[in-house]
Amino acid sequence: MKEDTIVQTGVWSAGPGCHGGCGVKLHIKDGKVVKVEGDEDHPWSQGRECPRLLALTQYMYHPDRVLHPLKRIGRRGEGKWERISWDEAYDTIEQKFKDIRDKFGAESVIFCQGTGRDIGGPISLLAYAYGSPNWTSLGLSAVSCYTPRLLAMYATFGNYAVLDASQFLEKRYNDPQWKVPKCIIVWAQNPPPTCPDGFFGHWVVDCMKRGSELIVVDPRTTWMASRAKMHLQIRPGTDGALALGMLNVIINEGLYDKEFVDKWTYGFDELKKRVQEYQPEKVAEITWIPKEKIAEAARYYASSKPAAIQWGIPIDANPQGDVVATAITHLWCITGNLDVPGGNVIARSSHGVVPYPFTHDEVKELYGDELFMKLSDRRIGAQRYPAVKNFRAWTQPDVVLEQIESGHPYPVKAAWIQTSNPIACMALDSKRHYNALKKLDFIVVVDLFQTPTSMALADIFLPAATFPEKESLRTWWSPLEVTTKAVEVGECKSDWEINLELARRLSAKPIPHKTVKELLDSRLKVAGKSFDEVVAKGGWEMEKEGPSVPYKRWEKGQLRRDGKPGFNTPTGKVELWSKFYEQCGLDPLPYYEEPATSPVSTPELAKEYPLILDTGRRSPVFFHSEHRQIPWLRELDPDPTVEISPKTAVEVGVADGEWVYVENQKGKVKARARIRPTVPPWMVMIAHGWWLPETEGREPHLFGIWEYNVNNLLEMGHQSSSGFGGGNYKSNLCRISKIED
Residues that bind other proteins (CB under 8 A): 35-38, 40, 47-51, 54-55, 57, 192-193, 201-202, 205-206, 208-209, 221-223, 226, 231, 620-621, 631-633, 635-636, 676-678
- The minimum distance between CB 118 and other proteins, in angstroms, equals 22
- Give the residue among 80, 60, 61, 62 at the shortest CA–CA distance from 72: 80
- Give the residue among 198, 283, 288 at the shortest CA–CA distance from 246: 283
- From residue 514, how far is each of 70, 86, 518, 579, 616 by CA, in Å? 25, 17, 7, 43, 41
CA distance 705 to 79: 16
- The minimum distance between CB 48 and other proteins, in angstroms, equals 5
- The minimum distance between CB 303 and other proteins, in angstroms, equals 24
**Phi, psi at 493, each rounded to 5°:** -130, 155
> What single string gives the DSSP state of each residue in 650-705?
HHHT--TT-EEEEEETTEEEEEEEEE-TTS-TTEEEE--S---TTS--STTTGGGH
User: How many other C-beta atoms are found inside a 10 Å radius of the C-beta of residue 3?
Assistant: 10
Describe the crossing of helices 516-524 and 495-506 by its angle, rounded to 10 degrees. 90
Note the maximum CA span of the chain: 71
- The minimum distance between CB 619 and other proteins, in angstroms, equals 9
Between 233 and 530, name the residue whose CB sits nearer to other proteins. 233
Q: For the chain, how many helices (H) and strands (E)?
A: 29, 27
First-to-last alpha carbon distance for the chain, in angstroms, is: 55
> What single string gives the DSSP state of each residue in 615-655?
E-PPPTT--TT--TT-HHHHTTS-S-EEEE-HHHHHHHT--
Torsion, Cα of 516, 522, 527, 532 (10° steps): 40
- Residue 679 corresponds to which amino acid? V
- The minimum distance between CB 187 and other proteins, in angstroms, equals 18
Between 38 and 599, name the residue whose CB sits nearer to other proteins. 38
Describe the crossing of helices 280-287 and 291-303 by its angle, rounded to 10 degrees. 110
Beta strands (DSSP E) in 479-561 are: 480-483, 540-541
Between 47 and 386, name the residue whose CB sits nearer to other proteins. 47
- The minimum distance between CB 585 and other proteins, in angstroms, equals 44
- The minimum distance between CB 477 and other proteins, in angstroms, equals 20
Between 209 and 509, name the residue whose CB sits nearer to other proteins. 209
Between 171 and 438, name the residue whose CB sits nearer to other proteins. 171
- The minimum distance between CB 650 and other proteins, in angstroms, equals 15
CA distance 733 to 431: 19
- The minimum distance between CB 233 and other proteins, in angstroms, equals 10
Residue 250: which residues within 8 A CB-CB, separation 6 or more? Answer: 256, 298, 299, 301, 302, 331, 334, 335
Between 290 and 557, name the residue whose CB sits nearer to other proteins. 290
Torsion, Cα of 588, 592, 593, 595 (10° steps): 130
- The minimum distance between CB 638 and other proteins, in angstroms, equals 10
Residue 35, strand partner residues? 27
Alpha carbon 377 to chain centroid, angstroms: 25
Between 116 and 680, name the residue whose CB sits nearer to other proteins. 680
Between 233 and 571, name the residue whose CB sits nearer to other proteins. 233
CA angle 412, 414, 417 (to 5 degrees): 120
Between 656 and 696, name the residue whose CB sits nearer to other proteins. 656
- The minimum distance between CB 192 and other proteins, in angstroms, equals 4
Between 227 and 607, name the residue whose CB sits nearer to other proteins. 227
Cα atoms in the Cβ-side hemisphere of radius 13 Å centred on 133: 28
Between 192 and 717, name the residue whose CB sits nearer to other proteins. 192
Phi-psi region of 395 (alpha: psi -120 to 50; beta: other; left: phi over 0): beta
Between 27 and 272, name the residue whose CB sits nearer to other proteins. 27
- The minimum distance between CB 222 and other proteins, in angstroms, equals 8
